[in-house]
Structure 1
Amino acid sequence: MDVERLEEGLREQTAGFARAAGGGDPQAIVPTCPEWPLRVLVGHIGQAHRWTAELLRKGEPPLSVPDPWQAEPGAPETWEEWLRAGAEDLIGALRETGADKEMWTFLGPRPGVFWLRRMLADTAIHHYDVAATTGAAFGIAGDLAADVITEGMEMLVAPGAVQLKPELVELRGQGERLGLRPRSGDGWVLTRAPEGLRWEPGPVPADVDVVVSGAVADLMLVCSRRLPLDAGRVEVTGDRALMDHWLARMAF
């Protein structure tokens, strides 16, 4: 996905997040992030966008990770403007520094566009969270949902990922394969090899050990552990226990 589309996607998902948050009770507990009230979730998104913009401009690792509880999103009637401004700050910072310029990331040096994709994925998943809190409709374009899944797969297999998330060691196996099959377009196949995880895009073969089929947005929500497999929106065929084991130990 090109940088322009990622920028559009961040704007789309930030705007959707802001609309979903509008009119919500700031103290309402987010059911999919049960330790956070709505105000903290709103603060997290605006704070994360601005923190990332600063990181891109400085080009060096931050001294600390921001605390969402310390974010100040302002009064609810100003949330939409504040959230949109944070997304624009991030987009502007990436344009200033260059999407291809190597930057610090928690997985080692990567092109700056890494952070745009990371914030798009985070915003998209939390857009669902805020919609689940306020009862608003959630929506995401298929190409954006697919990129959220792909970005997550890339992080799972990245060098250094196991050091950040030790439970990924438990996902090594003897060649078992898991598939995600969207209703249209190519899917994703994850292989649990002895030396570590591997993944590849493309049609999901018939002989994988387990496959989840459904709309690409629903597959994104399954992978982010927002949508239970038995919610009636996806179909699981094959070794359900293998899929449960994977979902319990990975997170985007």
Structure 2
Amino acid sequence: MDFSRLLSCLDDDFALLRAAVAGTDPSARVPSCPDWSVGELARHVAEVYLHKAECIRLGAFPEEWPPGVLDPDPVTSLDRTYAMLTGQFSAHSPADHAATWHEPDQTVGFWIRRMAQETVIHRIDAELAAGRPVSPVPDDLAFDGIDEVLKLFVGYGSTSWLDDFGTLLDAPDERPLSISTSHHAWTLTAIAGKGAQPGHVDVKDAATGFEGDALVSGDAVPLLLWLWNRGDDASVRVSGDDALLKQFHALRTAATQ
């Protein structure tokens, strides 16, 4: 997706998130994140926006966190931090430097994509908490989100967030698994560590579609929500080796918790 499209989706989803939070008791529970209330969900999103704005403004991770106190009103807090975030986006080009957790991509564009994807998932959380129908997710945003969660959170995360993956990659099943939606597929292979080299998950675009011993497939939107643990197994189609599917479930849960 190009950055103008991502920014447009971000604006749309922020408006939906804000409306859901504004119309809901802050103490209401979030069914897709049961440990959170709506107020806590809004605070989390506001903190994320503020942190990313600082990562862009400073060109480095802020040394003290949080840098100031958020407004106690959830909507006011969201409005202020979103204005700070989008102000930084407006003041920079996507290619400008920003501090990010993804070492190969230290740009503002990384945060444009990440915040668009962060916001769509959390506005769904807010809509569920408000008891509203979940607003549609554009197919192109969902497709981009699938690519992001697989390559960055599962793939890159398995090399950078070793503690999160525990012992899952000590002696994994190294047979490939495929994720497929519409016209595109990805192949994931858990690779055991060798010597001092830790294990990791290799993620690549599949050249010929189904290339694994197990397959998870579905339309882009339900597949994205399933990958982020916002959809049940009935929302996607699974086939192939059961042990390999269980391993992938554990890997994606470790990457997205």
SS at 1:118 equivalent: helix
TM-score (norm 1): 0.83
Instruction: Supply the AA of the counterpart residue of 2:190.
Output: R
SS at 1:87 equivalent: helix
Q: Distance in 1 between matches of 2:109 and 2:72?
A: 26
Asked if the contact 2:178/2:211 (under 8 Å) is kept, the reply is: no
Q: Distance in 1 between matches of 2:158 and 2:90?
A: 28
What are the ranges of 5 or more consecutive residues in structure 1 without an aligned counterpart? none
Asked if the contact 2:94/2:107 (under 8 Å) is kept, the reply is: yes
Q: Distance in 1 between matches of 2:19 and 2:208?
A: 36
Deviations 1:189-219 (A, max 9, x none): 2122335212223466345221122221111
* CA distance 1:148–1:165, change in 2 (3 Å): farther
SS at 2:203 equivalent: strand
* CA distance 1:38–1:173, change in 2 (3 Å): same
Q: Distance in 1 between matches of 2:102 and 2:207?
A: 28
Deviations 1:22-53 (A, max 9, x none): 42121011122222111111122123212211
Q: Map residues 123-162 of structure 1 onto 2, 5 A cutoff.
A: 123-138=119-134, 139-155=136-152, 156-158=154-156, 161-162=159-160
Q: Distance in 2 between matches of 1:158 and 1:249?
A: 12
Aligned-pair CA distance for 1:174? 5.1
SS at 2:151 equivalent: helix
Q: Map residues 138-217 of structure 1 onto 2, 5 A cutoff.
A: 138=134, 139-155=136-152, 156-158=154-156, 161-163=159-161, 165-167=163-165, 170-171=168-169, 173=172, 175-182=174-181, 184-194=182-192, 196-202=200-206, 205-217=209-221
Partner of 1:92: 87
Asked if the contact 2:226/2:235 (under 8 Å) is kept, the reply is: no
Q: Distance in 2 between matches of 1:60 and 1:84?
A: 24
Percent identity of the aligned residues? 28
SS at 1:237 equivalent: strand
Asked if the contact 1:11/1:87 (under 8 Å) is kept, the reply is: no
Asked if the contact 1:214/1:235 (under 8 Å) is kept, the reply is: yes
Partner of 1:242: 244
Aligned-pair CA distance for 1:160? 7.6
Matched, 1:74 2:73: yes
Partner of 2:3: 3
Asked if the contact 1:42/1:73 (under 8 Å) is kept, the reply is: no
Q: Map residues 44-55 of structure 1 onto 2, 5 A cutoff.
A: 44-55=44-55
What are the ranges of 5 or more consecutive residues in structure 2 without an aligned counterpart? 193-198
* CA distance 1:238–1:65, change in 2 (3 Å): farther
SS at 1:56 equivalent: helix
The 10-residue stretch of structure 1 (163-172 or 111-120) with the greater mean CA deviation from structure 2: 163-172
Partner of 2:195: none
Aligned-pair CA distance for 1:7? 0.7
Q: Distance in 2 between matches of 1:43 and 1:23?
A: 16
TM-score (norm 2): 0.82
Partner of 2:196: none
Deviations 1:144-191 (A, max 9, x none): 111112112222322884345441762474542222222x33132212
The 10-residue stretch of structure 1 (162-171 or 5-14) with the greater mean CA deviation from structure 2: 162-171
Aligned residue-pair number: 243
Aligned-pair CA distance for 1:245? 2.3
**Which stretches of structure 1, 4 residues or longer, exceed 6 Å deviation after superposition?**
none
Partner of 2:108: 112
Asked if the contact 1:10/1:87 (under 8 Å) is kept, the reply is: no
Asked if the contact 2:100/2:107 (under 8 Å) is kept, the reply is: no
Asked if the contact 1:40/1:71 (under 8 Å) is kept, the reply is: no
Aligned-pair CA distance for 1:123? 1.3
Q: Distance in 2 between matches of 1:219 and 1:18?
A: 25
